[in-house]
Structure 1
Amino acid sequence: MNNLVEKLFKLTDNKTNVRTEMLAGLTTFMTMAYILAVNPGILSASGMPKGGIFLATALAAALGSLLMAFFSNYPFVLAPGLGLNAFFSYTVVLTMGYSWQFALLAVFVEGLIFLILSLTPVRRAIFNSIPISLKTAVAVGIGLFITFIALQGAKVIVNNDATLVGMVSFHNSDFHTTGIWALLALIGTVLTAVMVVKKVKAAILLGIFATWFLGIISELVGIYTPNPAAGFFSIVPRFGNYFSDLGNTFSEFGITFGALFNSGSWTHTQGGAVVGQGWSLVTSLDFFVVMFAFFFVDLFDTLGTLIGVSMKGGFLKDGKLSRINGALCADSIATSAGAILGTSTTTTYVESASGVAAGGRTGLTSVGAAGLFLASILLAPIFLAVPSFATAPALMIVGFYMVSSVVKINFSSYGEAIPAFICIAGMPLTYSISDGIMLGVVSYTVINLLTGKRKRVNYVMGILSILFVLKYALM
């Protein structure tokens, strides 16, 4: 068995072992297990059943991660992507009026197009054409972005009418919900940081469990008071209706599985009235627009994540990722397979960096995470109870690791450094990896062309810049 694992994943060549890889897989899973609760909450707004979405989410994540492991041997983990699921529900279904089955079809087709491009030099050329300064900026920007997400999820950063965002007020907010949520995240971050400084093994994972444990104690003694109406749920696992809830989950999965192939359910409504139905919708301009929107965001979210995590793991050689075709094919197939299962675009997760930080270097990390996603189907009450304040410290530390790459940017070369800075700032401030890359690519191209540094701008960067401008001008 050990020989087979060694042969498949080349652990010795990558200076790792089974224990380290499994621990890394567990760490990655714990930092992204929130998607098992968040994705059903978002996609159900489109009318899809929550139980079916939950099961589809777990299965798509497991399948995608296994494909990544065996196609590329990189420690990248996949799951339905945030942002794209919101576009699915709130834009395509609730705003444009298309049925969720039709939206799944658009995701399915987008994945097929991705796969075709992944089998050609196109996606590899895009990845390799991005200059090393922007690749580094992407890693740094993602670090800031996931830190921002962590602070928001932990209620440390909240909405502020005057400045858009601000820090939580422990005096003006309800301390037994928002206040203690934020305080536990801050305490957990300090605990995790201390363990990292002390070089404690599995510090990130231990930080998650320690913070969660503190939260459970807070709830049991009454310091934390769940308020489901305000989005604050119990963080103590409950098993009272375990078997009936599990049965409902599988029953609802029968509704979402394969639903995209039911042409009779492809509808377009306006003002509550059906204005289009069936195959005629597939040939419409709107289908292309919807499919292209999924395609465009998925492409650059995936490339951005691969760059950022690869930079952190030391997988880039001369700015190139050696087995990128396998990684891209895995991502593409997972997207189409996820649509069949009943979820929006499945993509590579930036939280994979937490597993890399824990020592993950091969696809065995992805296999470990995939196994846990499958196990989560049977242990849903536990995994769904992991609160965002418990994963926030892990994401904060991962953000720190990724931001440390900023020293690799040559700030004395303004033509390289200014676009890199724009890219870094763009990701957290636009709340989008793809938007940050867009700002970096376009500014790099324009600044260097206008300053006479045309040799820095290859034809792929030029084409990307034009496409980015057209995308934001027309959509």
Structure 2
Amino acid sequence: MEKFFKLKERKTDVKTEVLAGITTFLTMAYILAVNPGILSNTGMDFSKVFAATAISSAIATLVMALLANLPFALAPGMGLNAFMAFTVVLGMGHTWQFALTAVFVEGIIFLILTAVNIREAIVNSIPANIKRAIGVGIGLFIAFIGMQNAGIIIGGATLVGLNPDWFHGPAGLAMVGLLITGVLLAFKVKGALLIGIVATTIVGIPFGITKYAGGSYLPPTPYFFPFEFSNIMSIDFVVIVFTFLFVDMFDTVGTLIGCATKADMIGKDGSIPNCKEALFADAVGTTVGAILGTSTVTTFVESSAGVVEGGRTGLTALTVAVLFALSLFFAPLFESIPSAATSPALIIVGVMMMTPVKDIDWNDITEAIPAFLTIIFMVVAYSIADGIMFGILSFVLLKLFTKKGKEVTIMTWVVFALFVLKIVFGAL
């Protein structure tokens, strides 16, 4: 295991890696309940989507572990599942089989783009200061998600606001969990995030917030090749595939950069080790996920929770993959962990991902504005991809109009053009 995962080389050990994997899994286990819940609005069977979610996540994360040797986990992405359910199926009137066909085609295109190194080139083309900003933006983004999941922050007259009842119910439990986890971290307790999740789950029992889900422990079966190829030559199909492709590409790029930055894995030339293999895991997950009956699989931002716990190798991802496979047999148990128990971990991870902000060049306005827009739009637009888009667009335009165009690489120009096409596409 030491030889395969290079534990000593990355200054880690088996215990640290396994704890990191468990932490990552617990912070993203909500997807096992949320993804089937969203896709069942299309008429899909909840238990079959649950099985597809668990199996595709396990396979994609296993590829990440064994090929890329990186501590990142994958699962069907939030946002993309909602786009499939509420826009493609319920909004545009297509069948869920049609939507899954678009996801399948997207996965095949990703495999091709990864094989010819186009996706890796896009990752490497992002300017250094925007790379740092991506990590910070993701930190704020997942902290915001954590606060929303717990009910601390809710919708209101000012778009979002503090829940007036934040000291009661799930929101109050999350605040208790935040205190518990913060104290554990202050005392440098190993596995603080994991212990915090378990402790908060237990505290929620007498208050009726943690409830045993119940149900069968027999593993359900997924769909298998549930596709509809009759309308793939339509304009709708092309637009849907392009949307899935574009959002997934830059969500994954952003997450890889953010988590790799936190793990101190970014090379001096700005590259991520085994980036091609990591992107291959994403492409395999999306393709397999579509075959089994779930929306686009992507690298999960919650992977940073395991990175914060010390995860540095594929052993962390392997642990997550095993737990996803086991979840098929223990669905009621995992569904019993309330979001209020995992939310404090996401908020704490947000704190820890702020460190790259000090390395951003705030004195050069052509670097500072793109970095700031990258950070702020990830939160307010609720999208990693949109944050990167505004960062790249502003970076290129500011460099161009301040006569610093030579600082923009050819590949950055290509990415800029892709974003312009996205804007034009969206306006049509």
TM exceeding 0.5: yes
Aligned match for 2:260, one of 280, 299, 310: 310
- Matched with 1:258 is 225
Cα distance in 2 for partners of 1:36, 1:348 equals 15
Cα distance in 2 for partners of 1:340, 1:290 equals 17
2:213–2:335: 8 Å Cα contact kept in structure 1? no
- Matched with 2:39 is 43
Cα distance in 2 for partners of 1:62, 1:154 equals 26
**CA apart distance, 1:360:** 0.7
Cα distance in 1 for partners of 2:213, 2:364 equals 57
Cα distance in 2 for partners of 1:308, 1:413 equals 22
- Matched with 1:121 is 117
Aligned match for 2:173, one of 177, 184, 200: 184
- Matched with 1:439 is 390
- Matched with 1:29 is 25
- Matched with 2:194 is 205
**CA apart distance, 1:334:** 1.0
Aligned match for 2:340, one of 378, 386, 389: 389
> Which residue type is aligned with residue 255 of structure 2?
T
**CA apart distance, 1:305:** 0.3
Aligned match for 1:362, one of 289, 293, 313: 313
2:193 maps to 1:218: no
Helix, strand or coil at the partner of 2:164: coil
TM-score by length of 1: 0.87
TM-score by length of 2: 0.97
Aligned match for 1:282, one of 222, 226, 232: 232
2:126 maps to 1:130: yes
Post-superposition CA distance 1:248-298 (Å, at most 9, x none): x33xx3xx22212xxxxx3xxxxxxxxxxx52x111121111111100001
> Which residue type is aligned with residue 313 of structure 1?
A
Cα distance in 2 for partners of 1:94, 1:307 equals 34
> Which residue type is aligned with residue 164 of structure 1?
L
> Which residue type is aligned with residue 445 of structure 1?
V
2:55 maps to 1:104: no
Within 5 Å, give how 1:62-461 maps onto structure 2. Answer: 62-160=58-156, 162-170=157-165, 179-219=168-208, 235-239=210-214, 241-242=215-216, 246=218, 249-250=220-221, 253=222, 256-260=223-227, 266=228, 279=230, 281-318=231-268, 319-461=270-412
Post-superposition CA distance 1:140-199 (Å, at most 9, x none): 000010011110010000010x200000012xx9x8xxx311111111111111111110
CA RMSD of aligned residues (A): 1.3
> Which residue type is aligned with residue 17 of structure 1?
D
Helix, strand or coil at the partner of 2:53: helix
> Which residue type is aligned with residue 193 of structure 2?
I
**CA apart distance, 1:459:** 1.8
Aligned match for 1:470, one of 414, 421, 426: 421
User: Share of identical aligned residues, percent?
Assistant: 50
Post-superposition CA distance 1:14-65 (Å, at most 9, x none): 1111111111110100000000010011111111100001011000110010
> Which residue type is aligned with residue 265 of structure 2?
F
Cα distance in 2 for partners of 1:370, 1:296 equals 26
Question: Structure 1: where are the runs of 5+ without partners?
Answer: 225-234, 261-265, 267-277
Question: Structure 2: where are the runs of 5+ without partners?
Answer: none
Helix, strand or coil at the partner of 1:98: coil
**CA apart distance, 1:417:** 1.0
> Which residue type is aligned with residue 288 of structure 1?
V
Cα distance in 1 for partners of 2:176, 2:422 equals 43
Q: Which structure has the larger Rg over C-alpha atoms?
A: 1
**CA apart distance, 1:238:** 4.3
Helix, strand or coil at the partner of 2:328: helix
**CA apart distance, 1:121:** 2.6
Change (3 A) 1:289 1:306: same
- Matched with 1:269 is none
Quick check: 420-429 or 410-419, which moved more? Answer: 410-419
Helix, strand or coil at the partner of 1:166: strand
> Which residue type is aligned with residue 134 of structure 1?
I
Cα distance in 2 for partners of 1:455, 1:416 equals 14
Q: How many residues align?
A: 425
